[in-house]
Amino acid sequence: MESLLGPAFLTALFAGTLAAAVPLLLAGLGEQVSEKAGVLNIGIEGMMLLGAYTGFVAAWSTGSLWLGFLFGMLGGLAVALPMLILCVWLGLNQIVIGIALTLGVEGLTALLHHVQFSRSYPRLPRVETLPIPGLSEIPVIGPALFDRHPLVYLAVLCVPLLAWVFRRSVVGLNLQAAGDKPAALDAAGVSVTATRAGAVLFTGAMAGLGGAYLSTIGAGIFVPFMTGGAGFIAIVLAMLARGRPLWVLLAALLFGACLSLTTALQVGGVRVPTDIVQMLPFAAVMLLLVAFGRRAALPAALGHPYVRGQR
Amino acid sequence: MSGEAQQGAQPDAAERLTSPARVPSGGGDLARRLAQALLPIVLALVVGALLLALLGRDPLAFYGDIVRRGLLSPLGLQESITRSAPLLLLGAGLIVAFRSGLWNLGVDGQFLLAAVFAAAMAPPLAAALPVWLALLLTLAAAFAIGALWSALPALLKAGYGINEIVTTLMMSFLGVSLANVLVKLPFNDPATTVPQTATLAAADRLPRLFGTTVNLGIVIALVAILAVHWLMTRTAFGLKLRVVGANPRAAVHAGLPVARLTLAAFGLSAGLAGLAGGVEILGVWGNMRADWNPGYGLLVIPLVFLARFHGVAVIGFVFFFAVLSIGGETAARRADLPNYFNLFLVGLILVFMALTEWLGQRWQQRRET
């Protein structure tokens, strides 16, 4: 038995942290864009779940992981599209529609899964990693952080990319205006609807990709309800990060650490009931909200449909 | 119309559909309201039928099974009425929250935690006290536990203005897991092999009515929902809550104690959800097994919206859903499908409801201009 805090324990902890953080990171970054533009995307849980399903089915039937990711994104987009039509174009209640889409996808994927896989329960082969030369040979953190699937590196690269978009690009400014003062954006001649529509679609693709990561790289199998609230955690990450992608990454890693603690503790020889460990990320969210919630700033027009000429 | 509240720092997202100001209550065109309530259900059933056909099942046989089992068979009908009790209590709790402009999306956690405490308390209490007193105390405790589990989101909302959608959802996930921990560890009945609480003897449960399998829970639930309707529409307290819900900023300016009213609304709403858990355990199950989570909470939300937060209308929609849910179990088993078809249907009903609402408004606007 390995001693607690030995190299194997730490490697398992770090590796598990990163693995659990990636879907949260992808979905959280997506949600951040949506929230910035003033759309509270409660349906993100459904986007992740459909992405997990379509991603798994595509990866399993074609044998290509990257096609799985593509179809995961398409799955997320398929849920984002009704969200866009109903909430951005027609201005319907974002929360009711978000809950509706999540419930609908939960039912739909559970039914489809039952019809297709309930007898076979197919599993994907273990994914191949891309070790980064040099870095991956560092003891303990090398194999944990620098010997992963390329998608993991890409997800982390999204953080500086989005930070740049938010801070330095016109798109970023437009997004922020759409969330803070949509009328000003409209007056400047930029379509609020188009800006928000783009944001919602981006969220759908990112959430779908996060879901596909969960089912293909993470679990290697699709199970009904497998996202288990990850989408809702992503919403909280985006809220706490106050528009800064780096904070999404840090918070995602924190939750990843909570989630991976079970596996790591088991490697270290300690048995903990899974129910207690499942509570950790949600308890962490509540603690963070109690501690920093007062400063969890949200865009002024979040959750409100934009109607031209109406204050 | 909804401009004033948008200036506030906290997003008053509940405003558009939940504001009673936007919900025509009393008077009005009954036929149109009925159509707006029934059309989403019909459309959802049609799309659901398409999905069933795609899965290679016979939709007519499926829906036929639902009606035969959930409504027409005497035993099924009694089960549907029994199932209505917790749903009605959850609906009553949601009416309080929604009319007060609060999104209490944590009812599942409140329901389950209250259920586990009720299941743990009832057997020893029934052994020590007269049964009626034991039941009464247990139900009171279930109400208190539910209310308690909403205290943190309520305080965060009232004190810091933190969006309650997220906090109630987080507390719900926490509550569901905590309930499981409680069943498996402290409240576990060592006499059984599967993790579950000690079982309350059938004679000590909520009494059954008139020789049927329906228990007293439905009476409690009907009283609760009518009382809540009366409270929210006919009393000063209800009016204050509705003002807070319609426009928190205006409520502050009118001198209303918004923070205290928010706490009260949350407590009442979550307490009723807890009572639902207590009634379900004391009336139907008698014990709680690990990993039992019927997930009623999110399913009742669309019904409450369909009823436009009207207590009497909720009774009708809840009964419809109870039939769907009881009959659906049999129909799904016969069609060799998991019992998740209802989830899909409820999601569709919500989407179509929002759409009909929108079309109705457009239609009225066009008629006015």
Could you tell me if A300 lies within 8 Å of chain B, comparing CB atoms?
yes
State residue A80's pLDDT score: 94
Which chain A residues have a beta carbon less than 8 Å from that of B13? Answer: 40, 93-95, 302-304
pTM of the model: 0.84
From A132's Cα to the closest Cα of chain B, the distance in A is 37
Domain residue spans of chain A: 7-115+131-295
- Total Cβ atoms within 10 A of residue A61: 12
Q: Among residues 105-144 of chain A, which lie with CB inside 8 Å of chain B?
A: 105-108, 110-112, 114-115, 118
Instruction: With a cut of 70, say whether residue A58 has pLDDT above it.
Output: yes
State residue B4's pLDDT score: 35
Partner-chain residue, chosen from B180, B298, B345, that has the shortest CB–CB distance to A99: B298
Model confidence over A115-125: pLDDT tens digits? 888 777 777 77
Are residues A254 and A241 in contact, defined by beta-carbon separation less than 8 angstroms? Answer: no
Inspect the interface and report whether the beta carbons of A86 and B354 lie closer than 8 Å: yes
Q: Which tokens sit at B40?
A: 């989403």
Per the model's pLDDT, the better-predicted residue between A291 and B314 turns out to be B314
Distances (CA, A) of B150 to A255, B117, B245: 23, 16, 18
State residue A5's pLDDT score: 62
Rounded to whole angstroms, the Cα distance separating B17 from A92 reads 9
Per-residue confidence band for A298, with pLDDT thresholds at 50, 70 and 90:
low
Q: Which tokens sit at A175?
A: 């997004």
Model confidence over B279-323: pLDDT tens digits? 999 888 888 888 888 888 878 887 888 788 888 888 988 998 898
Instruction: With a cut of 90, say whether residue A46 has pLDDT above it.
Output: yes
Could you tell me if B54 lies within 8 Å of chain A, comparing CB atoms?
no
Which chain A residues have a beta carbon less than 8 Å from that of B55? Answer: 111-112, 115
Could you tell me if B177 lies within 8 Å of chain A, comparing CB atoms?
yes
Torsion of CA B167, B169, B175, B177, to 10 degrees: -120
From B112's Cα to the closest Cα of chain A, the distance in A is 14
Region of poorest pLDDT, from A10-14, A104-108, B220-224 = A10-14
Inspect the interface and report whether the beta carbons of A275 and B177 lie closer than 8 Å: yes
Best mutation target among A49, A103, A294 (most B Cβ atoms within 10 Å) is A103
Per-residue confidence band for A251, with pLDDT thresholds at 50, 70 and 90:
confident
Mean pLDDT of chain A: 82
Domain residue spans of chain B: 88-305
Mean pLDDT, rounded, for A249-267: 79
Concatenated DSSP letters of B4-44: HHHTSSS--TTHHHH-GGGS--SSS-HHHHHHHHHHHHHHH
Question: Which letter, b or e, does each residue of B297-322 get, where b requires 16 or more Cβ atoms within 10 Å of its Cβ?
Answer: bbbbbbbbbbbbbbbebbbebbbbbb
Are residues A100 and B329 in contact, defined by beta-carbon separation less than 8 angstroms? Answer: no
> CATH assignment of A7-115+131-295?
1.10.3470.10
Which chain B residues have a beta carbon less than 8 Å from that of A179? Answer: none
Q: State the pairing for strand pair A147-148/A130-131.
A: antiparallel
Inspect the interface and report whether the beta carbons of A304 and B152 lie closer than 8 Å: no
Model confidence over A77-101: pLDDT tens digits? 999 999 888 888 888 878 788 888 9
Concatenated DSSP letters of A92-129: --HHHHHHHHHHHHHHHHHHHHHHHHTTT---PPPPPP
List residues bridging with B208 in a β-sheet. Answer: B215
Are residues B362 and A91 in contact, defined by beta-carbon separation less than 8 angstroms? Answer: no
Find, in chain B, the residue whose alpha carbon is nearest to that of A116. B55
Could you tell me if B55 lies within 8 Å of chain A, comparing CB atoms?
yes
Inspect the interface and report whether the beta carbons of B13 and A232 lie closer than 8 Å: no
Model confidence over B279-288: pLDDT tens digits? 999 888 888 8
Are residues A86 and B357 in contact, defined by beta-carbon separation less than 8 angstroms? Answer: no
State residue A52's pLDDT score: 94
The single residue listed with the structure tokens 């990320």 is A281
Q: Among residues 8-37 of chain B, which lie with CB inside 8 Å of chain A?
A: 9-14, 16-17
State residue A135's pLDDT score: 66
State residue A294's pLDDT score: 67
Could you tell me if A258 lies within 8 Å of chain B, comparing CB atoms?
no
Which chain A residues have a beta carbon less than 8 Å from that of B16? Answer: 92-93, 304-305
What's the start-to-end Cα distance of chain A, in Å? 66
Inspect the interface and report whether the beta carbons of A104 and B344 lie closer than 8 Å: yes
Find, in chain A, the residue whose alpha carbon is nearest to that of B181. A275
Find, in chain A, the residue whose alpha carbon is nearest to that of B12. A303
State residue B9's pLDDT score: 34
Q: What is the mean pLDDT of each successive set of 10 residues along chain B, which is 369 residues long?
A: 35 38 49 80 91 87 86 87 92 91 89 93 86 90 93 86 82 90 82 80 79 83 91 84 80 82 90 93 85 84 82 88 87 84 86 83 80
State residue A310's pLDDT score: 59
